[in-house]
């Protein structure tokens, strides 16, 4: 027996690494050492508990942790300035009222090791600073020095992204998708809608292919790997939200697939984020599926009406809050707008909108409350701008629609692709077309069925501060000549 034991292979002795985070060391996996929270933890939904300090190591005890993960890699003072601005201003504003790990942590973590993401972050931070400092709301920045710096880094980010795609392929899908989202944000911020649409469609096509193949293939990120979980849990919801916003701006079909939407049963929950996710899931099924681009039939109308009613019943305690918070106001705004859009989707008659005047009024009241507590001029999420514009062109109650337009003009906000100044000016023109001129704002005036605009074709040009559009009235089949309005 002794000889047998001596012949057995002995495990080589080694010292375990002390550099990984506490969670990765407990799980006995290699930590990627990203600070402040490693991706091995954050991408799988775990809470990274940080990095231990080696006992007796006086040098590490005195070592300072940099404020920004990019601090050591920033090559110039302007770059450090833009990175700091992104971390302190851009990320919180882009996150909106509902916390998003994508802007607050994920982008910063990945950017600390991926040059294409870092360059995109620098570009976005620089452009956002110029946008906020611009004295003329609604006009893209073309000459301000930080924006010149932003365009340089944006070009560098695109070049580095192309190199990343060529060298990493499907294995680097997560990084490519993160860069794609940043590029959409950059183009929306500077008002280049066509370029933003190209980035969004490209990302959706790649993401759809990955979902359809469920991450299979020797050179693809596994569906259930940590990176695959990151794509499904954080990046896909971001793409879905961006697509919803783009769909509201341009009535065209996007390569979105229901496979991107994780089916989660609507359960009674006190969580505001759960309420938002449940409502967004209903909106996706209503407006992003292929059937959404066809006329709403009675069966689909009944299905979505029941889902929306079920959602309202479960989260009624949020919708009827006596003292609403920004979070509950956003839920109310989305719910009321979805109610109107669904209720009027089965007919082309513009007269049916009159039945939803109380809903329009509540949208304006809630939007006014939210606007009073919002100071930022840009957000990646839908909050008030497209909803107030919807009230301005679809509500025929003179006082309510004018109040909505006044809120749009006074806020001068940009929400993704939606510009407050541009939409306010366009809505004013629609009121003029329907009501036949400027009327007393304190009086209600009836708008006849034949005077109501039912369709619009719009082209925004923020650089020249004008909107070109054609319209079609109720019961007409010919588009009007093109008109242009400026602000």
* pLDDT tens-digit readout, 9-48: 444 444 455 567 766 776 767 776 666 567 667 666 566 7
Asked whether the predicted pLDDT for residue 430 surpasses 90, the reply is yes
What is the share, in percent, of the chain residues with pLDDT greater than 90? Answer: 48
Q: How far apart, in whole angstroms, are the C-alpha atoms of residue 377 and residue 413?
A: 5
pLDDT at 269: 60
pLDDT, mean of residues 132-153: 67
> Residue for token digits 């407050």?
420
pLDDT at 263: 62
Higher-pLDDT residue of 67 and 319 is 319
Asked whether the predicted pLDDT for residue 343 surpasses 50, the reply is yes
Say whether 439 sits in a helix, a strand or coil.
coil
pLDDT at 5: 45
CATH number of 16-54: 4.10.240.10
Asked whether the predicted pLDDT for residue 99 surpasses 80, the reply is no
- pLDDT interval class at 340 (50, 70, 90): very high
154-191: burial string, b at 16+ Cβ within 10 Å, e else: bebbbebbeebbeeeebebbbbbbbbbbbbbbbbbbbb
Q: How far apart, in whole angstroms, are the C-alpha atoms of residue 396 and residue 474?
A: 14
pLDDT at 317: 77
* β pairing state of 483-486 and 453-461: unpaired
pLDDT, mean of residues 333-345: 93
Most confident of 54-58, 110-114, 119-123: 119-123
Alpha-carbon torsion, ordered 161, 162, 164, 170, to 10 deg: 110
pLDDT at 14: 46
Asked whether the predicted pLDDT for residue 55 surpasses 80, the reply is no
Asked whether the predicted pLDDT for residue 129 surpasses 70, the reply is yes
Asked whether the predicted pLDDT for residue 66 surpasses 50, the reply is no
Strand arrangement of the beta sheet that strand 466-473 belongs to: 453-461, 466-473, 483-486
Higher-pLDDT residue of 196 and 149 is 196
Work out the angle at residue 63's Cα, subtended by the Cα atoms of residues 62 and 69, and round it to the nearest 5 degrees. Answer: 155
pLDDT at 73: 55
Is 392 in contact with 353 (CB distance < 8 Å)? no
- pLDDT interval class at 322 (50, 70, 90): low
- pLDDT interval class at 223 (50, 70, 90): confident
> DSSP label at 295?
P
pLDDT, mean of residues 306-318: 88
* Domain chopping of the chain, boundaries: 16-54, 70-249, 263-315, 321-486
- pLDDT interval class at 143 (50, 70, 90): very low
Q: Which of 352, 355, 347, 342 is nearest to 311 (CA)?
A: 342
Higher-pLDDT residue of 222 and 184 is 184
pLDDT, mean of residues 391-418: 92
pLDDT at 26: 65
311-331: burial string, b at 16+ Cβ within 10 Å, e else: bbebbeebbeeeebebbbbbb
* Sign of torsion over alpha carbons 414, 469, 287, 209: negative
pLDDT at 139: 53
pLDDT, mean of residues 165-182: 94
- pLDDT interval class at 219 (50, 70, 90): low
Q: DSSP of 212-233, one letter per residue? A: HHTT-STTS--TTSHHHHHIII
pLDDT at 358: 97
């Amino acid at each position: 027996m002794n000889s047998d034991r001596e012949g057995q292979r002995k495990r080589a002795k080694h010292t375990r690494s002390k550099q990984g985070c506490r969670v990765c060391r407990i799980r006995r996996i290699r930590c990627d050492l990203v600070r402040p929270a490693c991706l091995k933890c954050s991408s799988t939904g775990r809470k990274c508990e940080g990095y231990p300090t080696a006992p007796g190591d006086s040098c590490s005890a005195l070592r300072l942790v940099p404020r920004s993960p990019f601090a050591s890699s920033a090559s110039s003072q302007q770059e450090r300035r833009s990175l700091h601005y992104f971390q302190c201003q851009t990320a919180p504003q882009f996150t909106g009222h509902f916390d998003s790990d994508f802007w607050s942590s994920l982008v910063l973590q990945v950017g600390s090791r991926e040059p294409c993401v870092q360059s995109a972050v620098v570009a976005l931070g620089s452009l956002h600073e110029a946008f906020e400092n611009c004295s003329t709301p609604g006009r893209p920045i073309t000459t301000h020095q930080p924006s010149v710096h932003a365009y340089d880094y944006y070009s560098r980010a695109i070049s580095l992204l192309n190199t990343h795609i060529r060298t990493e392929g499907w294995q680097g899908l997560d990084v490519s998708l993160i860069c794609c989202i940043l590029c959409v944000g950059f183009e929306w911020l500077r008002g280049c809608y066509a370029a933003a649409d190209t980035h969004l469609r490209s990302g959706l096509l790649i993401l759809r292919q990955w979902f359809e193949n469920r991450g299979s293939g020797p050179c693809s990120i596994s569906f259930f790997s940590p990176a695959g979980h990151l794509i499904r849990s954080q990046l896909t919801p971001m793409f879905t939200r961006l697509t919803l916003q783009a769909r509201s701006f341009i009535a065209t079909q996007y390569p979105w697939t229901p496979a991107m939407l994780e089916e989660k049963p609507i359960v009674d929950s006190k969580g505001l984020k759960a309420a938002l996710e449940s409502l967004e899931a209903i909106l996706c099924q209503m407006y992003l599926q292929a059937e959404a681009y066809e006329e709403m039939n009675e069966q689909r109308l009944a299905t979505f009406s029941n889902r929306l009613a079920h959602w309202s019943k479960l989260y009624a305690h949020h919708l009827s809050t006596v003292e609403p918070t920004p979070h509950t106001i956003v839920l109310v705004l989305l719910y009321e707008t979805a109610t109107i859009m669904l209720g009027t989707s089965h007919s082309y008659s513009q007269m049916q909108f009159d039945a939803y005047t109380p809903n329009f009024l509540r949208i304006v009241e809630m939007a006014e409350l939210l606007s009073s507590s919002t100071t930022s001029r840009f957000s990646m999420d839908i909050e008030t701008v497209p909803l107030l514009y919807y009230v301005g062109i679809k509500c025929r109650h003179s006082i309510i629609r004018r109040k909505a337009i006044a809120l749009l003009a006074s806020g001068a906000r940009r929400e993704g692709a939606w510009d407050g100044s541009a939409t306010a000016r366009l809505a004013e023109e629609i009121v003029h077309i329907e009501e036949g001129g400027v009327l007393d704002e304190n009086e209600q005036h009836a708008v006849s069925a034949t005077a109501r605009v039912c369709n619009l074709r719009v082209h925004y040009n923020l650089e020249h501060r004008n909107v070109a559009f054609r319209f079609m009235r109720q019961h007409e089949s010919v588009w009007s000549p093109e008109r242009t309005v400026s602000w």
